[in-house]
Structure 1
């Protein structure tokens, strides 16, 4: 019972008291957690935006300034020691280019992203407008055809009409229920509208703050990386620091590969649908192709969500074409899953199919669409770490068993030699 032991006991007592208070006042703890998340959510958005923009920015910087950075001894995204930088004799132009490399690359990346969003908007918005206009003309005709089909069925099957006529509906009670809902729910609808407007405005403000924060991160990410490493080395043992950095590098590789591969795979799938639908002269080719390409960013379930919406749009034009689209969808989906996806995304995620389904389900239930996208690479990181830990345990166990077996073999040999000596 020395001074160090007393310190540990005091820490355990304080931890036990805090845990007891937290369990007994769990509502206060949860409110504090929600309040804290609301405070830092713009910075969480900024980190996410920075990570997404970092992938194309690396390519742009390497393409535009890779040669200059190599001449100055500064490879893109490789931290060079100060003494190595001083050993490189570079001119004023090279130094100026090195200073401008990151801001110019960031501006070019933002312009490319905005240009892509603008291009998609210019393609989708007119197509969506014409689709809505055409649907307003075709839905009445579709409903009229449904009515004619129902009347024809009732003429052929009069027993259906008798069963429907036997159903009694209290129209007075239904009218009173609707009136009470409109009278009492008007205030709720108004409050919901005001709350939705406030939420949209707050979300827009948080997004703008996050984008600004992301730009600061991208402009000085190497410096932030060095500072984070220094903090880790100050408070953690060297072995824990190396393990943390190793996990960080692995996570970055998996997330970047998943993000790049998923975007490229969605683009290829959308182009496949556009070309095929154009060849077979199906309606709404551009709108459906963009919709399926966008929803394909959601693994496993995304393309099927786009398929349901596409089937509804084509059904308004022709049920026969809708059946043809379904056949075409399943054919292209099989081609994409068996040919395109393995070559584009490959095994970069390294997660078996069953765990991909589990990750998508859990992520969707917890965080919606963003959870579906986030949980697959996150699950891949956890799966890789757990697999390495299990393999290490098995290797250590097999090595220990091998050592025990060797000792037992040597003991048996010694017994045999002793028995032989006694016999002699």
Structure 2
């Protein structure tokens, strides 16, 4: 098979895969979530198998433990978060109005010099935008998240199907990997296996490492902000840790929300505002210099900008399932791109030196 036909074959395969994902995007989420859960928990099951625990029993124990912990956390935390989210959305306009009032009162002379007679109009425009945005958010929360039989069935199916899919994948994981390896073209098997190992390192380093970072930050910010007495501290803290899946995005978002709420809640006591700032300062330092270097490392090769682009693009194309596929696909594309660049740098197209053909020697002496 010529090079052109090989490239056409793989491009066609990728196109069919992308089209299948797009067509089936409405039902893929439980299966993708099960695959992600199995990939995340496979090292634990493999370690249990290494100490002579049958793989089926190990997979069942790990999945069972995960389901029990998830149910307990859901029963305990979800009602609290739902109440805090509803209250936060309802009180958001008043928070913004109070912040705006504090800003204009403290800097009225300076703003008056800058904006002149337009200051009242600007204030009203900001208030209108905030009110409309809050109304849209409130409608989305009430209609899209908490109502609708289809949504309930979808979520119920997600919680039931995902653990089952994860269990079967964990049980058969080694055999599946061996079967996939046996399908690889013999001529390029070592190259493909090398790329797959590199992809696995990238995905494992980010998915498993970053998920651990997010969990630790969720616990830290949730407990610290709640302990400081901040309104909606648990909601903001857990949201900050969750959004830390994209490095520094969660910290910046959480810091903005927490400081805004703290100013309105504790004004004019600046001490508590500085306490909130200190909590985020410690969290950002811990994330940057302890958690991220030790749990994620530098071998991932996923730049935050590339990660955000992947999340937005795959999410727009494939919905929530695309969000779950974004990281592994972005990591895989990054590995393939680096491989293509290495091949290009070693090719005559870059060096300008043609490679000798197999039957040609280094040169023949002239007769």
**TM bracket, shorter-chain basis:** 0.5 to 0.7
Distance in 1, matches of 2:352 and 2:58, equals 55
Distance in 2, matches of 1:45 and 1:114, equals 18
| Match status 1:387 vs 2:338 | yes
In the TM superposition, residue 239 of structure 1 has moved relative to its aligned partner by: 1.8
Structure 1 residues 106 and 312: CA distance shift in structure 2, 3 A: farther
CA contact (8 A) 1:359 1:372 kept: no
In the TM superposition, residue 383 of structure 1 has moved relative to its aligned partner by: 2.9
Residue segments in structure 2 that go unaligned for 5+ positions in a row? 123-139, 357-361
In the TM superposition, residue 345 of structure 1 has moved relative to its aligned partner by: 0.7
Partner of 1:81: none
| Match status 1:336 vs 2:336 | no
User: In the alignment, which of 28, 38, 62 is matched to residue 108 of structure 1?
Assistant: 62
Partner of 1:222: 174
SS in 1 for 2:164: helix
Partner of 1:59: 44
In the TM superposition, residue 372 of structure 1 has moved relative to its aligned partner by: 6.0
User: In the alignment, which of 180, 196, 204 is matched to residue 256 of structure 1?
Assistant: 204
CA contact (8 A) 1:359 1:376 kept: yes
CA contact (8 A) 1:360 1:371 kept: no
In the TM superposition, residue 333 of structure 1 has moved relative to its aligned partner by: 1.7
C-alpha RMSD of the superposition? 5.2
Instruction: Please list, as runs of the form range in 1=range in 2, the aligned pairs for 1:178-217 lying within 5 A after superposition.
Output: 197=148, 199-201=150-152, 203-204=154-155, 207=158, 208-217=160-169
CA contact (8 A) 2:29 2:321 kept: no
CA contact (8 A) 1:350 1:380 kept: yes
Structure 1 residues 104 and 271: CA distance shift in structure 2, 3 A: closer
CA contact (8 A) 2:210 2:245 kept: yes
SS in 1 for 2:255: helix
Under a length normalisation based on structure 2, what TM-score does the superposition of the two structures give? 0.62
In the TM superposition, residue 62 of structure 1 has moved relative to its aligned partner by: 1.9
Of structures 1 and 2, the one with the larger relative CO (CA 8 A, separation 6+) is 2
Residues 76-97 of structure 1 show CA distances to partners (whole Å, capped at 9, x for unaligned) of xxxxxxxxxxxxxxxxxxxxxx
Structure having the higher Rg: 1
Residues 348-374 of structure 1 show CA distances to partners (whole Å, capped at 9, x for unaligned) of 3134xxx43133124224416765664
- Count of residues in correspondence between the two structures: 319
CA contact (8 A) 2:251 2:280 kept: no
CA contact (8 A) 1:258 1:348 kept: no
Distance in 2, matches of 1:388 and 1:165, equals 58
In the TM superposition, residue 261 of structure 1 has moved relative to its aligned partner by: 0.6
In the TM superposition, residue 129 of structure 1 has moved relative to its aligned partner by: 3.8
